[in-house]
């Protein structure tokens, strides 16, 4: 896997097991490129969530090599990992909103962590609330929001700081079809700005909604890649349009 110049993520023969159980991921190898859009699919239990946990650095692999942002993360001390995590946006299946904070303040968290002033963050957070259809619910706390509304807050929080990588675990699972498409368009807009997007989904209908996307398919912990699309740079120019 060495020599994939320009890649943002490289997995080389990665395996993952929890405790003494059998491996949930085996010999997983792929390369992700900046500004590309990927769907991660597979049956329930195929290992999608486990693979995402490796991607957003919540879990270390049992074996293999992971390189991200040009750095071998396996050899990095744990104290260095938070700096890498701040470059990754994550949409969790269980949302993980801060219960005592309003929708506005949950979305603003990444901007505050980055040092943005209260005056500076008002407009981007307000724009994001409007985009996900929650501008009238800015002051609401998570407990008063529906599941779909909580999902939209979680997505807005994940993308507000324009991360270099966005990892989303079933991000449209609690919204209606129209909102699902609107959220995909938000991911596409972020992708056009250069963010590498990885969306895990069981909804095969979504796969056709992003024409330039690539598909990563997991089967019983192994990645099926018959075309080699995940080993070579996609033909699309990350800035939009076709590659030369």
Measure the CA–CA gap between 201 and 162, rounded to whole angstroms.
Answer: 21
* Paired tokens of 231: 């080993």
How sure is the predictor about 232, in pLDDT bands with cuts at 50, 70 and 90?
Answer: low
Per-residue model confidence as pLDDT tens digits over 177-194:
888 888 888 899 889 989
What is the model's pTM? 0.85
Instruction: Count the Cβ atoms, other than its own, within 10 Å of residue 177.
Output: 11
Any idea which of 102-106, 151-155, 213-217, 239-243 has the lowest mean pLDDT? 239-243
Give the per-residue pLDDT at 230.
60
**234: left (phi > 0), else alpha (psi -120 to 50), else beta?**
beta
| Domains with residue ranges and CATH for the chain | 34-60+78-217 (3.40.50.300)
Residue 237 has pLDDT above 70, yes or no: no
Per-residue model confidence as pLDDT tens digits over 98-157:
999 999 999 999 999 889 999 999 999 999 999 889 999 999 999 999 988 998 999 999
Give the per-residue pLDDT at 226.
46
């Amino acid at each position: 896997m060495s020599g994939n110049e320009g890649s943002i993520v490289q997995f080389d023969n990665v395996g993952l097991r929890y405790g003494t159980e059998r491996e949930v991921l085996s010999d997983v190898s792929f390369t992700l490129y900046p500004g590309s859009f990927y769907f991660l699919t597979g049956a329930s239990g195929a290992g999608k969530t486990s693979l995402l946990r490796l991607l957003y650095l919540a879990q270390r692999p049992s074996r293999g090599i992971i390189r991200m942002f040009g750095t071998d993360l396996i050899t990095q001390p744990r104290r260095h990992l938070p700096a890498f995590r701040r470059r990754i946006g994550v949409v969790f299946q269980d949302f993980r909103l801060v219960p005592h904070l309003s929708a506005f303040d949950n979305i603003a968290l990444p901007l505050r962590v980055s040092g943005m002033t209260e005056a500076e963050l008002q407009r981007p957070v307000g724009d994001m609330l409007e985009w996900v259809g929650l501008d009238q619910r800015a002051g609401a706390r998570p407990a008063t929001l529906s599941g779909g509304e909580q999902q939209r807050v979680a997505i807005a929080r994940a993308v507000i700081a324009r991360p270099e990588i966005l990892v989303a675990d079933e991000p449209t699972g609690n919204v209606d079809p129209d909102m699902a498409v609107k959220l995909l368009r938000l991911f596409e807009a972020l992708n056009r700005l250069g963010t590498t997007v990885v969306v895990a989904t069981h909804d095969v209908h979504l796969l056709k909604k992003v024409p330039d996307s690539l598909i990563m398919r997991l089967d019983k912990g192994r990645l099926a890649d018959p075309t080699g699309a995940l080993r070579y740079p996609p033909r699309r120019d990350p800035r939009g349009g076709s590659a030369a």
